[in-house]
A and B are shown apart, each in its own frame.
Chain A
Amino acid sequence: MPKIKMPKSSPSIDMTPMVDLAFLLVTFFMLAASFRSSEPVEVDVPSSISDKIIPDNVLLVTVDKGGRAFFNLADPEARRELLVNMSAKYKIGFSDEQVEKFTIMTSFGCTMQELPQYIDMSNEERKRLETKGIPYDSTNNELKDWIFYGNVAALNTGKTAFEEAKLKGDSPVADDFKPKFILKVDNKALYVHAQNVINVFRDLNLNNLNFITSMETAPL
């Protein structure tokens, strides 16, 4: 009986196209991606048909399920100014290092007293820490000061950015550089909590608010 001849083919495959593809994708993702910043609290946002993309110069207040408030300001320069003003108001000193660290932090939800300690923590420690949120009741309304000074600082940086854009020869719209106020509320949060935060904004005469929502297709 003749032997069955197995076709002799090399077991190694040419991987060049695969490598090409893989690196192409890596490059694409590297350039296109913006990193998900780690937030101290997970918030499940409601959905809406709105397709307005979140603006650049934002002041964000998060309200979680339990009604705790977290504050965030996008612009690092504005954050620096904000912290300086806040530390003067509450007479709490911050070292240069702490100010530096604060500028690159994400949202936080702790009292002014706890803030220096909170800044010194590592990301993991912050995540484990159960804060009570920024107080916003009428007796101790720290959130109001954060929003007030945050608005002032963001207005200033917005103005500089506007001037710079003007010098470059673009024709910028001044409104685009003004701080926008964003609320990120949890699906399950009671509206009264959100309302209390909204009332803080309204007390400062900031009536134009935005809610972060996830996309939903519009009905035809």
Chain B
Amino acid sequence: MAEIAEGGGESHGKGKKRAKKSSTRVDMTPMVDLAFLLLTFFVLTSTFSKPKVMSLVYPANPDETQKEEPQKINNGITFLLSEDKIYYYSGQYYPKSAPGPEGPTVLEETNFGPNGLRKLLADRNAFVLKGKEGLDKKLKSKEIQDSTYLRMLIEFKKNKESLKVLIKTDDKATCKNFIDLIDELKIAEIGVIAPVDILASELELLNEKVK
């Protein structure tokens, strides 16, 4: 400690002046307290991982000038969401009033489990998944570059053989199921995903099924 010499010059004659011996140790407890307080504060208030996003491109609104019948899609599958259930039909939609070659469309039920939706999509989209596997191998053996890989993958997804997906929802579907479905579609490497409005007759069909 800083101490001022006391007692004026009295001590001059009395032997050596001794520096006071004080411990060099400081009590660190308050400092530790403070450090841990700050540590706790920062741990609790901070967020590390920035949120992740999943992009989804919606179909552009049709122009007023060129209103057409919806395009015919080859190799399409339509998912219908209601509450926590998911239904699908393949190909074109045929209402009861105008049945197609195989009669009116019948909805089939599936689920979000690995044996339901994921298997279904993997089977239907085998073309792209197989193509991707081949590309993965080539990428690993460095036959092709990253950019070529991405370009070829997109080409595969755009191919006629690849699966196209339409998503229709009724007014009881939840966002969770919608995102889960999109997620499954992304896992199955599906390139064309289009959330579209549900037709009145489809809604009826769906309501019958949900009951």
9-residue interface stretch from A89-97, A153-161, A170-178, A199-207? A199-207
B49 within 8 A of A: yes
Q: Using Cβ atoms and an 8 Å threshold, which residues of chain A touch B35?
A: 19, 22-23, 26
A15 within 8 A of B: yes
**Chain A: CB-nearest residue to B171:** A192
Task: Count how many pairs of residues, one from A and one from B, have CB atoms less than 8 Å apart in the complex.
Answer: 159
Q: Using Cβ atoms and an 8 Å threshold, which residues of chain A touch B180?
A: 46, 48
Q: Using Cβ atoms and an 8 Å threshold, which residues of chain A touch B173?
A: 190-192
A50 touching B32, Cβ below 8 Å: no
**Chain B: CB-nearest residue to A21:** B35
A191 touching B39, Cβ below 8 Å: no
Q: Mark A43-57, 1 if CB is under 8 A from B, else 0.
A: 001111111111100
A33 within 8 A of B: yes
> How many interface residues does A have (CB within 8 Å)?
56
**Chain A: CB-nearest residue to B167:** A191
9-residue interface stretch from A69-77, A105-113, A116-124, A212-220? A212-220
Q: How far is the CB of B209 from chain A (nearest CB, A)?
A: 18
Secondary structure dominating the interface of A: mixed
Bound-state CA distance A131–B29 (Å) is: 47
- Between A23, A187, A198, A211, the greatest number of chain B beta carbons within 10 A of the residue's beta carbon is seen for A211
Q: Mark B186-206, 1 if CB is under 8 A from A, else 0.
A: 110000000100000000000
B52 touching A214, Cβ below 8 Å: yes
B53 touching A29, Cβ below 8 Å: no
B50 touching A53, Cβ below 8 Å: yes
B48 touching A211, Cβ below 8 Å: no
Q: B-side interface residues toward A, CB under 8 Å?
A: 25, 28-29, 31-32, 35-36, 38-39, 42-43, 45-61, 81, 114, 118, 169, 171-180, 182-183, 186-187, 195
Q: A-side interface residues toward B, CB under 8 Å?
A: 12, 15-16, 18-19, 22-23, 25-26, 29-30, 32-36, 45-55, 63, 182, 185-192, 194-195, 198, 201-203, 205, 207-216, 218-219
